[in-house]
Amino acid sequence: MQGKVVIAGIGQTEFGRHEGRSTYSLNAEAARKALADAGIEKDCVDGLFVKFPTSNFEFMYGQKLAEALGIVPRIGGVWDQGGAANASLVGYAAMAIEAGQCDIALVTFADNPKSGTRQAYQRPWGNDEVHGWFGVPAGYAMIAQRHMQQYGTRPEDLAAVAMACRRHGASNPRAQLRKQLSLDDYMASPPIVSPLRRDDCCLVSDGGAALILMSAERARSLKVDKPVPILGFGQGQTSWEVSQRPDLTTTAAKVSAATAFAAAGLTPADIDVAQIYDCFTITPLLTLEDYGFCKPGQSGAFASEGNLELGGALPMNTSGGLLSETGMPGMQLIIEGVRQMRGESVNQVPDAQHCIISNQGGIMHTHSTLLLGN
């Protein structure tokens, strides 16, 4: 891959509550802003890659959205991987552009679980519901417990993840939750499904976010202001439910990152800034281990030593992540990666050359990795 395709435009709505607005409307606003950011007209978009609203499945959502946007794509549709889908769609759009299946792609996502329904997140899991097995946080708590038992990971280590994200979000005017978190606040936070507390869990947000992708060559001919090259991407799948997974403390992030690093010709040592999917605080810890930033079992210490904060070895979620900027699944991390590579983040990492981005979905079932350069 190595930069043949670029992210040419980014756009987003406000994150938070959008009472009464449909996901079509939120997607349209994000798309309008991404097109303006790239400096291109809508009519040249011939690829439409959509993650459907997580909280409310609709058949043919991609086509209904194409109609609402007045776009007639050559290639388009939705892709279901839960929270991994946005980063995966960037990969598919890049492959489609390289293969001549489309010229300019719009990758977009919107959802409104805060003002609308969030039932999809609370559904029971088959006949296991007789045991009281409900809710997404419980799946992540099951993994967190195993990691804590296996490696001695402490609540203070989970807290370090939340504190770094909340610190970065506090200085981001776009963030939904702009309140720093102290260790005392964290420890006093009520348990939800222990070992996870309220402050281990991401926000619930309405909003939309979109990207414009094209070839680097096309970006030059269109005089795009600040194209950000996609250096590599990869995916991985864990087939097993949490109850069936042979190993609860490694994930598909491992194979996903290996694919992306190989495509880019990079290693973890080359990465200056990371945007790591933080639906729950345990998720970045496992991802950092699987990505090779620390050894298995060492991520808790890595986090609590301050490495994830601005000025640390690997500043993470510099706009606040899902724990602070918005609970929307993943696109905000890609947008912040673009801002870092453009040198435009409110929490800019000086001289950042390479950014790694993770998206993941289900209970660590799906994983997707992007590597961006500048």
Token code pair at residue 145: 């417990």
Helices (H), 113-154: 136-151
Size of the site for another protein (CB under 8 A): 31
Member of 70, 191, 296, 343 binding another protein (CB under 8 A): 191
Strands (E), 265-349: 273-275
Per rule CB under 8 A, is residue 292 in the interface with another protein?
no
Per CB under 8 A, contacts with another protein among 80-139 are: 122, 124-135, 138
Member of 99, 244, 269, 350 binding another protein (CB under 8 A): 244
* Whole-number Cα distances in Å, 244 to 130, 248, 297: 18, 9, 21
Q: How many CB atoms lie within 10 A of CB 174?
A: 20
CB closer to another protein, 24 vs 134? 134
CB closer to another protein, 117 vs 243? 243
Q: Would you give the binding string for another protein spanning residues 303-332, x where CB under 8 A is met?
A: ------------------------------
Using the rule CB under 8 A, give the single segment among 103-111, 144-152, 277-285, 331-339 that binds another protein.
144-152
CA dihedral (130, 136, 139, 143) in degrees, to 10, reads -160
CB closer to another protein, 15 vs 151? 151
Collapsing DSSP states into helix, strand and coil, what is residue 204? Answer: coil
Per CB under 8 A, contacts with another protein among 145-174 are: 145-146, 149-150
> N- to C-terminal Cα distance for the chain?
14
Per rule CB under 8 A, is residue 282 in the interface with another protein?
no
Per rule CB under 8 A, is residue 350 in the interface with another protein?
no
The rounded distance, in Å, linking the Cα atoms of 260 and 288 is 15
Per rule CB under 8 A, is residue 242 in the interface with another protein?
yes
Question: Cβ(196)–Cβ(228) under 8 Å?
Answer: no
Query: DSSP class of residue 348?
Result: P
For binding to another protein (CB under 8 A), which residues are involved? 122, 124-135, 138, 141-143, 145-146, 149-150, 190-195, 242-244, 248
